[in-house]
Amino acid sequence: MSNLAGYFPRVFYEAQKRKPPPEVIRQIRNSFMKYANEDKTISRHNFKLACLACFGFKPSKQEMNVIMNGSDFVNDKRYYEIMEERACYIDFEEELRKTFKLLDISNIGFLTVGDVDAVAQKYTPSITKESVQSMFFEADRDKDGRVSFKDFERMAS
């Protein structure tokens, strides 16, 4: 497993099982060609620009330190590996957000046991209220009676 797992911890294992769609792989390859040096390496600064072009945001300084691993440049193979991992992570995180929004039937930005129970009863009527409550309270790490998206991510990872 990549040493980037620590920076994509929530759903990294699931993301590793996936492969980005062909159009995303093309976009990653095109961004490398645009920002790479003649020797098929990419600098720290240009890596950030390529990430911005592909995904709409730049990696943090801490994340870049891990990516660059003490070097001034990353070769093409390492670039593709990192960017494809990131693409899978982003795709999975988006699915997770959609699921969270589906469960948030009160549309208040967090889940209540009532929301989760209502959705569970609608889609899996055989599940007991006790099972729903047990899952909910396991996800509710700070025990405030609601599950934030961060709590939900932790539960899913």
34 residue type, one letter: K
Which residue, 74, 93, 112, sits at the end of a domain? 93
Query: What was the pLDDT predicted at 91?
Result: 65
Q: Has residue 6 got a pLDDT over 50? A: no
- CA dist 16 and 112 (Å) reads 31
Whether the pLDDT of residue 41 is over 50: the answer is yes
Rounded average pLDDT over 121-149: 86
Supply the pTM of this predicted model.
Answer: 0.53
Question: Could you tell me the CA-to-CA distances from 56 to 6, 24, 43, 119, 135 in Å, in that order?
Answer: 21, 13, 18, 33, 34
Task: Note the pLDDT tens digit of each residue in 67-116.
Answer: 999 999 999 999 999 998 888 777 667 778 888 888 889 889 999 999 98
Same domain, 17 and 71: yes
Residue 98 placed within a domain: no
CATH assignment of the domain containing 77: 1.10.238.10
Structural domain that includes position 20: 3-93
Closest CA to 71 of 47, 54, 38: 47
- Residue 3, C-beta contacts closer than 8 angstroms, at least 6 positions apart: 66, 69
The mean pLDDT value of the chain amounts to 82
Using N-to-C axis directions, what is the helix angle for 61-68 and 44-55, rounded to 10°? Answer: 120
Q: State residue 103 phi and psi, 5-degree precision.
A: -75, -25
Q: Identify whether residues 18 and 76 lie together within a single domain.
A: yes
Place of tokens 């890596």: 47
Looking at the structure of the chain, the number of domains it has is 2
pLDDT tens-digit map of 42-70: 999 999 999 888 877 788 888 899 999 99
Whether residue 21 is found in the same domain as residue 79: yes
